């Protein structure tokens, strides 16, 4: 444990240790604390010990928790659960968590999105990625939505359901997350719409420019409208 030792002019030795909660130095004569369930003693400053009985509101989840059950973060106090989540967020900064063969119930590498994964399994991931490789099976919001409904293939849906069920059964994906995997993701829909719009605009621009010469933006727009009317007809 970090220790601060000071000898005054009279030769008396003063020893201080950091507070368990705020890490401020506390003299051994001034520290407070109770005995923990494991038999160890708390070592706290008077301010933190005074707040302990009332608890502190977590800056992340707004829950009132015992002050000792948390830590001081740069932006405030966070409970132990949120402190753990912050550490995980720092280790795995991207949304897709990659699991290798020996850390997954499925063969090959798989990628599980943070929105569907069981938090207890996050630290088992090998790494994170913003966009997993094409040969990595993805399990995230909407990744299996195409297998559901009239456009879906029964065989594909059956295989996906079996894989997701195994991930849920092994504790990698939550029940709520499993539902999200088979639901249409607004993010996916928006991306598809944007991609279609870009493709259409590129084609539209090419058709207009290739068919006419235009001296102004107004003429270009007018030519484009004529092209649309022709396509509609």
Residue 193: pLDDT over 50: no
- Mean pLDDT over 117-146 rounds to 87
Percent of the chain with pLDDT strictly greater than 70: 74
pLDDT at residue 186, as a whole number: 53
Percent of the chain with pLDDT strictly greater than 90: 12
For 93, residues 6+ apart whose C-beta sits below 8 A from its C-beta are 128
Q: Which of 60-64, 137-141, 196-200 has the lowest mean pLDDT?
A: 196-200
What is the reported pTM? 0.47
Which tens digits make up the pLDDT trace of 136-179? 999 999 888 877 764 556 666 777 888 888 899 899 999 888 88
Residue 216: pLDDT over 80: no
C-alpha span between 44 and 26 (Å, rounded): 7
The secondary structure of the chain in percent helix, strand, coil, rounded to multiples of 5, reads 40, 20, 40
Name 111's bridge partners.
98, 138
Average pLDDT, the chain: 77
- Would you list the domain boundaries of the chain? 1-53, 54-91, 95-184, 195-232
C-alpha span between 18 and 163 (Å, rounded): 49
Higher-pLDDT residue of 152 and 45 is: 45
Residue 182: pLDDT over 60: yes
């Amino acid at each position: 444990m970090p220790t601060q030792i000071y000898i005054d002019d009279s030769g008396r030795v003063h020893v201080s240790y950091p507070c368990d909660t705020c890490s401020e130095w506390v003299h051994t004569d001034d520290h407070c604390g109770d005995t923990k369930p494991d038999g160890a003693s708390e070592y706290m400053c008077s301010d933190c010990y005074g707040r302990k009985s009332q608890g502190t509101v977590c800056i992340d989840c707004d829950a009132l928790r015992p002050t000792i059950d948390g830590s001081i973060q740069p932006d405030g106090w966070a409970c132990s659960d949120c402190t753990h989540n912050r550490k995980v967020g720092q280790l795995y900064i991207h949304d897709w968590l990659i699991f290798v063969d020996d850390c997954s119930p499925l063969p090959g590498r798989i990628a599980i999105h943070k929105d569907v994964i069981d938090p207890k399994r996050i630290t088992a991931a090998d790494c994170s990625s913003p966009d997993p490789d094409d040969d990595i099976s993805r399990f995230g919001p909407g990744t299996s939505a195409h297998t559901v409904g009239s456009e879906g293939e029964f065989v594909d849906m059956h295989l996906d359901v079996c894989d997701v069920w195994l991930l849920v059964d092994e504790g990698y994906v939550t029940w709520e997350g499993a539902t999200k995997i088979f639901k249409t993701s607004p993010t996916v829909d928006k991306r598809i719409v944007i991609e279609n719009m870009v493709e259409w605009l590129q084609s539209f621009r090419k058709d207009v420019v290739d068919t006419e010469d235009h001296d102004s933006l107004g003429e270009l727009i007018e030519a484009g409208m004529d092209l649309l009317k022709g396509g509609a007809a």
